[in-house]
Structure 1
Amino acid sequence: MSIIDISEVKPGSHVTLHYRLSLADGAEVINTFIDKPATLLLGAGQLAPPLEDILLGLKVGHHSTFQLAPGQAFGPRNPELIQRVSLATLRENSVIGEDFSPGDLVEFNAPGGGRYAGVLKEVGETSALFDFNHPLAGQALAFEVKIIGIL
Protein backbone atom coordinates (compact mmCIF):
# COMPACT_ATOMS: atom_id res chain seq x y z
CA MET A 1 0.00 0.00 0.00
CA SER A 2 1.45 3.36 -0.99
CA ILE A 3 1.13 6.46 1.13
CA ILE A 4 0.08 9.59 -0.73
CA ASP A 5 2.15 12.62 0.24
CA ILE A 6 -0.30 15.46 0.81
CA SER A 7 2.11 17.66 2.71
CA GLU A 8 2.38 20.22 -0.08
CA VAL A 9 0.23 21.56 -2.90
CA LYS A 10 0.75 19.70 -6.18
CA PRO A 11 -1.05 19.70 -9.55
CA GLY A 12 -4.41 17.97 -9.03
CA SER A 13 -4.51 18.73 -5.28
CA HIS A 14 -7.74 19.71 -3.59
CA VAL A 15 -6.72 22.74 -1.55
CA THR A 16 -8.75 24.39 1.19
CA LEU A 17 -7.54 27.93 1.67
CA HIS A 18 -8.39 31.48 2.44
CA TYR A 19 -7.33 33.93 -0.23
CA ARG A 20 -7.57 37.62 -0.99
CA LEU A 21 -6.99 39.19 -4.37
CA SER A 22 -6.59 42.97 -4.39
CA LEU A 23 -5.59 45.68 -6.80
CA ALA A 24 -2.36 47.64 -6.35
CA ASP A 25 -4.35 50.44 -4.67
CA GLY A 26 -5.63 47.97 -2.05
CA ALA A 27 -9.18 47.63 -3.45
CA GLU A 28 -10.33 44.06 -2.81
CA VAL A 29 -11.54 41.94 -5.71
CA ILE A 30 -12.26 38.82 -3.64
CA ASN A 31 -11.71 37.98 0.02
CA THR A 32 -12.56 34.60 1.56
CA PHE A 33 -10.96 35.57 4.91
CA ILE A 34 -14.21 37.29 5.93
CA ASP A 35 -16.34 34.20 5.25
CA LYS A 36 -15.72 30.50 4.84
CA PRO A 37 -12.59 29.25 3.06
CA ALA A 38 -12.59 28.06 -0.54
CA THR A 39 -11.79 24.52 -1.67
CA LEU A 40 -10.27 24.37 -5.14
CA LEU A 41 -9.09 21.58 -7.41
CA LEU A 42 -5.81 22.68 -8.99
CA GLY A 43 -5.92 22.34 -12.75
CA ALA A 44 -9.71 22.58 -12.99
CA GLY A 45 -9.70 26.24 -14.04
CA GLN A 46 -11.11 27.57 -10.78
CA LEU A 47 -8.16 29.95 -10.44
CA ALA A 48 -6.09 31.58 -13.16
CA PRO A 49 -3.10 29.30 -13.96
CA PRO A 50 -0.50 31.86 -12.73
CA LEU A 51 -2.31 31.99 -9.36
CA GLU A 52 -2.39 28.18 -9.19
CA ASP A 53 1.36 28.12 -9.95
CA ILE A 54 1.97 30.29 -6.87
CA LEU A 55 0.23 27.68 -4.70
CA LEU A 56 2.41 24.79 -5.90
CA GLY A 57 4.79 23.62 -3.19
CA LEU A 58 3.06 25.49 -0.36
CA LYS A 59 2.36 23.55 2.85
CA VAL A 60 -0.55 23.53 5.30
CA GLY A 61 -0.34 26.61 7.50
CA HIS A 62 1.56 28.68 4.92
CA HIS A 63 0.33 32.30 4.96
CA SER A 64 1.84 35.01 2.80
CA THR A 65 1.10 37.68 0.22
CA PHE A 66 2.50 37.58 -3.31
CA GLN A 67 2.84 40.69 -5.48
CA LEU A 68 2.02 40.13 -9.15
CA ALA A 69 3.30 42.47 -11.85
CA PRO A 70 0.79 44.09 -14.23
CA GLY A 71 -0.59 41.42 -16.54
CA GLN A 72 1.06 38.52 -14.68
CA ALA A 73 -2.13 36.96 -13.28
CA PHE A 74 -4.66 37.55 -16.06
CA GLY A 75 -2.42 38.48 -18.97
CA PRO A 76 -1.78 41.83 -20.60
CA ARG A 77 -4.60 43.94 -21.99
CA ASN A 78 -5.09 43.15 -25.67
CA PRO A 79 -6.33 46.09 -27.77
CA GLU A 80 -7.66 43.60 -30.35
CA LEU A 81 -10.21 42.45 -27.75
CA ILE A 82 -11.93 45.85 -27.85
CA GLN A 83 -14.49 45.29 -30.57
CA ARG A 84 -17.72 46.62 -32.00
CA VAL A 85 -20.78 44.37 -31.89
CA SER A 86 -23.88 45.11 -33.97
CA LEU A 87 -26.96 46.12 -32.01
CA ALA A 88 -28.74 43.18 -33.70
CA THR A 89 -26.21 40.77 -32.16
CA LEU A 90 -26.55 42.50 -28.81
CA ARG A 91 -30.37 42.11 -28.97
CA GLU A 92 -30.06 38.41 -29.95
CA ASN A 93 -28.08 37.77 -26.76
CA SER A 94 -30.26 39.76 -24.37
CA VAL A 95 -33.55 39.35 -22.57
CA ILE A 96 -36.44 41.18 -24.28
CA GLY A 97 -36.64 44.74 -23.07
CA GLU A 98 -33.23 44.58 -21.39
CA ASP A 99 -31.44 47.92 -21.28
CA PHE A 100 -27.66 48.14 -21.27
CA SER A 101 -25.46 50.85 -19.81
CA PRO A 102 -21.72 51.40 -20.12
CA GLY A 103 -19.94 49.26 -17.54
CA ASP A 104 -22.41 46.35 -17.83
CA LEU A 105 -20.96 42.86 -18.28
CA VAL A 106 -22.83 41.17 -21.16
CA GLU A 107 -22.64 37.49 -22.08
CA PHE A 108 -22.77 36.29 -25.67
CA ASN A 109 -23.25 32.87 -27.25
CA ALA A 110 -19.97 31.76 -28.79
CA PRO A 111 -19.97 30.20 -32.26
CA GLY A 112 -19.87 26.43 -31.78
CA GLY A 113 -21.33 26.64 -28.26
CA GLY A 114 -20.20 28.11 -25.00
CA ARG A 115 -20.39 31.68 -23.73
CA TYR A 116 -18.08 34.65 -23.51
CA ALA A 117 -18.49 38.03 -21.87
CA GLY A 118 -17.48 41.61 -22.46
CA VAL A 119 -17.84 44.94 -20.70
CA LEU A 120 -19.98 47.46 -22.57
CA LYS A 121 -18.01 50.66 -23.20
CA GLU A 122 -20.42 52.69 -25.35
CA VAL A 123 -23.55 52.30 -27.46
CA GLY A 124 -23.73 53.91 -30.92
CA GLU A 125 -26.43 54.18 -33.60
CA THR A 126 -25.83 50.71 -35.08
CA SER A 127 -23.26 49.06 -32.84
CA ALA A 128 -21.90 48.85 -29.32
CA LEU A 129 -18.25 48.91 -28.27
CA PHE A 130 -17.18 46.06 -25.97
CA ASP A 131 -14.00 45.20 -24.11
CA PHE A 132 -13.57 41.42 -24.10
CA ASN A 133 -10.37 41.50 -22.01
CA HIS A 134 -10.56 39.90 -18.57
CA PRO A 135 -11.49 42.75 -16.18
CA LEU A 136 -8.19 42.22 -14.31
CA ALA A 137 -6.00 41.95 -17.42
CA GLY A 138 -3.02 44.26 -17.23
CA GLN A 139 -3.51 44.92 -13.50
CA ALA A 140 -0.88 44.65 -10.79
CA LEU A 141 -2.36 42.48 -8.03
CA ALA A 142 -1.67 41.27 -4.51
CA PHE A 143 -2.56 37.61 -3.85
CA GLU A 144 -2.70 36.67 -0.15
CA VAL A 145 -3.11 32.98 0.67
CA LYS A 146 -3.41 30.87 3.80
CA ILE A 147 -3.34 27.11 3.17
CA ILE A 148 -5.73 25.29 5.53
CA GLY A 149 -5.77 21.78 4.11
CA ILE A 150 -4.51 19.67 1.20
CA LEU A 151 -6.06 16.45 -0.15
Structure 2
Amino acid sequence: MNELPVDKGTRVKLHFALKFPDGEVIDSTFEKEPASLEIGDDNLPENFEAYLMGMKAGDRDSFQVPPEKAFGQHNPNNVQTFKRHEFSPDMVLEPGVMISFADARQSELPGVVSRVEGDEVEVDFNHPLAGRTLTFEVEIIDVEPAGPAH
Protein backbone atom coordinates (compact mmCIF):
# COMPACT_ATOMS: atom_id res chain seq x y z
CA MET A 1 0.00 0.00 0.00
CA ASN A 2 1.55 3.29 -0.95
CA GLU A 3 1.90 6.17 1.49
CA LEU A 4 1.51 9.07 -0.94
CA PRO A 5 -0.88 11.68 0.50
CA VAL A 6 -3.59 13.29 -1.62
CA ASP A 7 -2.30 16.60 -2.98
CA LYS A 8 -2.18 18.62 -6.19
CA GLY A 9 -0.61 16.49 -8.89
CA THR A 10 -2.01 13.18 -7.63
CA ARG A 11 -4.51 10.79 -9.16
CA VAL A 12 -6.92 9.42 -6.57
CA LYS A 13 -9.11 6.34 -6.66
CA LEU A 14 -11.84 6.61 -4.09
CA HIS A 15 -15.34 5.78 -3.02
CA PHE A 16 -17.50 8.69 -1.97
CA ALA A 17 -21.03 9.35 -0.89
CA LEU A 18 -22.90 12.61 -0.69
CA LYS A 19 -25.76 12.54 1.80
CA PHE A 20 -28.20 14.81 3.53
CA PRO A 21 -27.68 15.04 7.31
CA ASP A 22 -30.66 12.67 7.81
CA GLY A 23 -28.71 9.96 5.94
CA GLU A 24 -30.61 10.16 2.63
CA VAL A 25 -28.09 9.40 -0.13
CA ILE A 26 -27.80 11.89 -2.98
CA ASP A 27 -24.95 10.15 -4.80
CA SER A 28 -22.64 7.28 -3.92
CA THR A 29 -20.02 5.03 -5.52
CA PHE A 30 -19.82 2.60 -2.59
CA GLU A 31 -21.99 -0.01 -4.37
CA LYS A 32 -20.39 0.65 -7.77
CA GLU A 33 -16.98 1.11 -9.34
CA PRO A 34 -14.82 3.57 -7.40
CA ALA A 35 -14.33 7.03 -8.86
CA SER A 36 -10.95 8.00 -10.22
CA LEU A 37 -9.93 11.62 -10.52
CA GLU A 38 -6.97 13.89 -10.73
CA ILE A 39 -6.80 16.60 -8.06
CA GLY A 40 -7.51 19.89 -9.79
CA ASP A 41 -9.28 18.40 -12.85
CA ASP A 42 -12.66 19.86 -11.79
CA ASN A 43 -14.31 16.45 -11.45
CA LEU A 44 -14.88 17.36 -7.82
CA PRO A 45 -15.59 20.93 -6.76
CA GLU A 46 -12.45 22.51 -5.28
CA ASN A 47 -14.04 22.78 -1.82
CA PHE A 48 -14.67 19.02 -1.77
CA GLU A 49 -11.10 18.33 -2.94
CA ALA A 50 -9.86 20.38 0.02
CA TYR A 51 -11.29 17.74 2.41
CA LEU A 52 -9.24 15.02 0.69
CA MET A 53 -5.87 16.76 1.03
CA GLY A 54 -3.42 14.75 3.11
CA MET A 55 -5.54 11.57 3.18
CA LYS A 56 -3.79 8.34 2.19
CA ALA A 57 -4.82 5.00 0.70
CA GLY A 58 -6.90 3.11 3.27
CA ASP A 59 -8.18 6.28 4.99
CA ARG A 60 -11.90 6.66 5.48
CA ASP A 61 -13.61 9.76 6.83
CA SER A 62 -16.84 11.69 6.86
CA PHE A 63 -17.20 15.47 6.71
CA GLN A 64 -20.07 17.87 7.35
CA VAL A 65 -19.98 20.35 4.46
CA PRO A 66 -21.79 23.67 5.07
CA PRO A 67 -23.62 25.31 2.13
CA GLU A 68 -20.82 27.88 1.63
CA LYS A 69 -18.40 25.04 0.91
CA ALA A 70 -20.89 22.94 -1.04
CA PHE A 71 -23.27 24.52 -3.55
CA GLY A 72 -23.73 27.97 -2.01
CA GLN A 73 -26.63 29.56 -0.21
CA HIS A 74 -30.05 29.78 -1.83
CA ASN A 75 -30.14 33.10 -3.68
CA PRO A 76 -33.61 34.69 -4.08
CA ASN A 77 -32.27 36.62 -7.13
CA ASN A 78 -31.97 33.28 -8.92
CA VAL A 79 -35.74 32.80 -8.86
CA GLN A 80 -37.39 34.27 -11.99
CA THR A 81 -41.03 34.69 -12.98
CA PHE A 82 -42.15 34.05 -16.55
CA LYS A 83 -45.52 34.27 -18.32
CA ARG A 84 -47.19 30.97 -19.23
CA HIS A 85 -47.36 31.96 -22.94
CA GLU A 86 -43.54 32.19 -23.05
CA PHE A 87 -43.43 28.37 -22.94
CA SER A 88 -44.69 26.02 -25.63
CA PRO A 89 -48.40 25.24 -25.10
CA ASP A 90 -47.82 21.48 -24.71
CA MET A 91 -45.08 21.86 -22.07
CA VAL A 92 -45.96 20.41 -18.68
CA LEU A 93 -45.45 23.16 -16.12
CA GLU A 94 -45.79 22.09 -12.52
CA PRO A 95 -43.62 22.40 -9.42
CA GLY A 96 -40.58 20.14 -9.58
CA VAL A 97 -40.34 20.01 -13.38
CA MET A 98 -36.84 20.82 -14.64
CA ILE A 99 -36.56 23.06 -17.69
CA SER A 100 -33.41 23.81 -19.62
CA PHE A 101 -32.87 27.42 -20.68
CA ALA A 102 -30.06 28.99 -22.70
CA ASP A 103 -28.34 31.86 -20.91
CA ALA A 104 -26.92 34.98 -22.60
CA ARG A 105 -23.83 33.03 -23.70
CA GLN A 106 -26.03 30.19 -25.00
CA SER A 107 -24.81 27.84 -22.25
CA GLU A 108 -27.38 25.48 -20.83
CA LEU A 109 -28.98 26.75 -17.65
CA PRO A 110 -31.28 24.31 -15.81
CA GLY A 111 -34.15 25.69 -13.78
CA VAL A 112 -36.83 24.00 -11.69
CA VAL A 113 -40.43 25.17 -11.71
CA SER A 114 -41.20 26.21 -8.14
CA ARG A 115 -44.69 27.73 -8.52
CA VAL A 116 -47.41 28.00 -11.17
CA GLU A 117 -50.21 30.46 -10.52
CA GLY A 118 -52.58 31.67 -13.24
CA ASP A 119 -50.40 33.05 -16.03
CA GLU A 120 -47.27 33.13 -13.86
CA VAL A 121 -44.59 30.46 -13.79
CA GLU A 122 -41.84 30.82 -11.18
CA VAL A 123 -38.54 29.10 -12.01
CA ASP A 124 -35.71 28.57 -9.52
CA PHE A 125 -32.21 28.61 -11.05
CA ASN A 126 -30.40 27.87 -7.77
CA HIS A 127 -28.47 24.59 -7.62
CA PRO A 128 -30.91 21.98 -6.23
CA LEU A 129 -28.55 21.46 -3.26
CA ALA A 130 -28.04 25.19 -2.56
CA GLY A 131 -28.53 26.11 1.08
CA ARG A 132 -28.13 22.51 2.25
CA THR A 133 -25.52 21.13 4.63
CA LEU A 134 -24.23 17.85 3.21
CA THR A 135 -22.32 14.87 4.55
CA PHE A 136 -19.34 13.94 2.37
CA GLU A 137 -18.15 10.41 3.12
CA VAL A 138 -14.88 9.27 1.59
CA GLU A 139 -12.77 6.13 1.41
CA ILE A 140 -9.40 6.53 -0.32
CA ILE A 141 -8.45 3.37 -2.22
CA ASP A 142 -5.27 4.49 -3.98
CA VAL A 143 -3.18 7.61 -4.48
CA GLU A 144 -0.55 7.84 -7.23
CA PRO A 145 1.41 10.62 -8.91
CA ALA A 146 -0.61 12.03 -11.79
CA GLY A 147 1.43 11.51 -14.88
CA PRO A 148 0.50 11.25 -18.53
CA ALA A 149 -2.31 8.74 -18.94
CA HIS A 150 -0.92 5.28 -19.80
TM value normalised by structure 1 = 0.82
The 1-side partners of 2:10 and 2:120 are apart by: 45
CA RMSD of aligned residues (A): 2.3
Q: Structure 1: how far apart are the matches of 2:40 and 2:27?
A: 20
Q: Judge conservation of contact 1:106–1:120 (CA < 8 Å) in 2.
A: yes
Identity %: 34
Q: Within 2, Cα distance between the matches of 1:70 and 1:64?
A: 19
Query: Does 2:78 align with 1:85?
Result: no
Contact 2:3 2:57 in 1 (8 A): no
CA contact (8 A) 1:21 1:30 kept: yes
Letter aligned with residue 24 of structure 2: A
TM-score, normalization by structure 2: 0.82
Alignment of 1:2-151 (within 5 A): 7-91=4-88, 97-151=90-144
Structure 1's 13 and 115: CA in aligned 2 closer, same or farther, altered over 3 A? farther
Structure 2, unaligned runs of 5 or more: 145-150
Aligned AA for 1:145?
Answer: V
Tell me how far apart the structure 2 counterparts of residues 6 and 114 of structure 1 sit (CA, whole Å). Answer: 42
Q: CA deviation at 1:88?
A: 5.0
TM-aligned CA deviation for residue 143 of structure 1? 0.5
